[in-house]
Chains A and B, each alone.
Chain A
């Protein structure tokens, strides 16, 4: 494999960590985080959650975020970007427009002073792996969007950096292409031993790519762990929302006494009355008036208003996510069932 990485692997774990990080320069929200070495951490957060600031902080680019970055116990904080072993792929397709694909991929290796034939060899291998091997002599603007982003990824991989930062790299692509690239990326990146940081706002990316996930909201760290851990045991309402597509549904007005916690259920954990009942009958029944039905083919999303007969007037907007195509009339009232085990009791923060 890549020489510098094998070295690290032999000398033990080189941990990338951040300490006392405040992503918006506000110290009240400062947090620490150690990225699992050699694994892929998906940083999940919505708009303005601070994920781009975190990327820029790791890469050493100008940002309002502050805090200490260290790798393998060596502080990086005051090193300029070019002296950090950190490669970055941005959301926009950033390539050298007047260089060919081959020159683009080779550019970091030229900077590192690799021998010419070794450069060519590696360039070809990388281009082949990323499916742009046939375009080595073209200019980036002759490539499609997906190919341009593959090129940017190839260039980042050519750096053989210890840390690879990908800031929403697929967000500007068609969904079919995104689907294919995610599978490819997962396979490709699991082969490198670099610590990979991948930001996204889509919980499906966290499941598809992440060995670990770090949830950010409004520049705060909400929770970290494996995707399934975070999904099954969200730390609070915001974490449950973030790790849910669409967001979680709150149970109307059935609040705990202290008022600081609420109960919620994930859209995919709601069963329609018309579906065959599960073996256990420990279920909560609730009625929903359907406001809208959305169908993506493999799934149906029912948007509606849920009300508690005991407290008329207390309503919540819910989304129910069911596999398959369901035909439901708008305006109809549906009986919904939720397993008690699936009801999340969460701190409202």
Chain B
């Protein structure tokens, strides 16, 4: 296992005008479960390829445990990778697939040691029952488990890169694979970097999440932190469904505006649909008109809805159990908000 450190690493494709990846720093601890979260085109794949040695950074250095690996090809970085679709040696059995990385590199491992290690990994992933099956004859779910097993089998691996590993897995069983991965990460203490565009996968898997947009890391933090206290407006927008609501501070009612300005004088105020409460008009300064209502289900017998509200010239979403009809005027009580200036967080307010 290793600590992975990126110092000022940037990448520009030859002949391209703009950098695909802005010079960025990243520090992944030894044995950490780390996620890279971003939409398509954010630079996830480029960063992944820099880590795995397919691409060389056009600037900056990459360190694995204080060893400069910037110029080294992937096989000399001793890393393993799990791909979007299960990559198996299709003419081998499951067991042979798992053992393969131990038999290469001119290693002089003893057969018994290899078998013991394969067995241990198979037990961790609950696939010891299919070791003798041909790799072609198992389900997609099992195939991806085997691919993960092959990445975990070498004890000397510096880190495991996971590139959207659940893409091919059926939605209803994704959580199982995710749990297995998480458990294996914990049990084996492997440094894992999980690249995904799916917030549930990133927030579920990782101890720390880095949110990537336009070739730059906007925020790195615990799942709670990136969700509740986004450091950048994009992070607030990207996480959550629907994402964070934004209102210009200058258009807020006077008293609220004064309150908000005390926290770092933000330009824009962001709040999540669930961190506001709807009450009858007149109770609070911030008001809006109900434009749409979408039922989400019931909670303790009450119908929960996602209301689309018109606040001045802006529309926001608020999740509420209050029964309001389209056209009603309502007050909005903000329980938790984050203030932004130039897209960057400058202040926040509100308890859990």
Q: Tell me the A residues contacting B by CB distance below 8 Å.
A: 174-176, 179, 183, 186-187, 204, 207-208, 227-228, 231-232, 246, 266, 268-269, 271, 278, 291-298, 301, 303, 323-325, 327, 330, 339, 341-342
Contact = CB atoms under 8 A, between A and B. Distances in A.
Contacts of A303: 175, 179
B294 A208 contact: yes
Contact of B274 (A269, A271, A298): A298
Nearest to A278: B300
Interface in B170-227: 172, 175-176, 178-179, 182-183, 197-200, 203-204, 223-224, 227
Interface string B274-318: 100000000000000000101111111101000010000000000
B301 A295 contact: no
17 contacts: A174-B197, A176-B39, A176-B243, A179-B242, A207-B294, A269-B299, A271-B300, A292-B176, A295-B204, A295-B223, A296-B199, A296-B203, A297-B199, A298-B272, A301-B175, A330-B183, A342-B298
B337 interface: no
Given A303-B179, A325-B224, A325-B227, A298 B296 contact: no
A294 B223 CA distance: 11
B103 interface: no
Contacts of B300: 271, 278, 339
Contact of A266 (B223, B239, B297): B297
Contacts of B273: 298
Contacts of B238: 176
B104 interface: no
Given A174-B40, A342-B301, 12 more contacts: A187-B292, A207-B294, A207-B297, A228-B295, A268-B299, A294-B200, A295-B200, A298-B272, A301-B175, A303-B175, A330-B183, A339-B300
Given A179-B242, A298-B241, A186 B200 contact: no
Greatest chain B CB density within 10 A among A227, A291, A296, A330 is at: A296
Contacts, number: 88
Contacts of B175: 292, 294, 301, 303
B178 A294 contact: yes
A297 B239 contact: yes
A32 B313 CA distance: 46
Contact of B296 (A174, A176, A207): A207
Interface string B233-253: 000001111110000000000
A312 B65 CA distance: 50
Given A179-B241, A294-B175, A231 B297 contact: yes
A208 B297 CA distance: 11
Contact residues on B (Cβ < 8 Å of other chain), bracket: 35 or more
A204 B241 CA distance: 11
Give the interface SS of chain B, mostly helix, strand, loop or mixed: mixed
Interface string B311-345: 00000000100000000000000000000000000
Contacts of B224: 325, 327
B348 interface: no
B232 interface: no
B44 interface: no
B5 interface: no
A208 B204 CA distance: 26
Contacts of A297: 199-200, 203, 223, 227, 239-241
B228 interface: yes
B219 to A, nearest CB: 13
A232 B298 contact: yes
A339 B299 CA distance: 10
Contacts of A296: 199-200, 203-204, 241
A293 B175 CA distance: 9
A13 B352 CA distance: 51
Contacts of A228: 295, 303
Nearest to B272: A298
Given A278-B300, A298-B241, A292 B179 contact: yes
A296 B204 CA distance: 7
A187 B240 CA distance: 22
Contacts of A325: 223-224, 227-228
B303 A341 contact: no
Nearest 4 Cβ contacts at the A-B interface:
A292-B179, A296-B200, A297-B227, A295-B203
A325 B241 CA distance: 14
A335 B204 CA distance: 22
A323 B335 CA distance: 15
A231 B239 CA distance: 27
A291 B179 contact: yes
B270 to A, nearest CB: 14
A16 B227 CA distance: 45
Contacts of B199: 296-297
A332 to B, nearest CB: 14
Contacts of B303: 228
B277 to A, nearest CB: 13
Greatest chain B CB density within 10 A among A187, A232, A292 is at: A292
Contact of A330 (B179, B203, B298): B179
Given A301-B175, A330-B179, A339-B301, A186 B223 contact: no
Nearest to A178: B241
A293 B319 CA distance: 23
A276 to B, nearest CB: 11
Nearest to B203: A295
Contacts of B272: 298
Contacts of A187: 292
A208 B305 CA distance: 10
Nearest to B315: A183
A294 B241 contact: no
Contacts of A227: 295
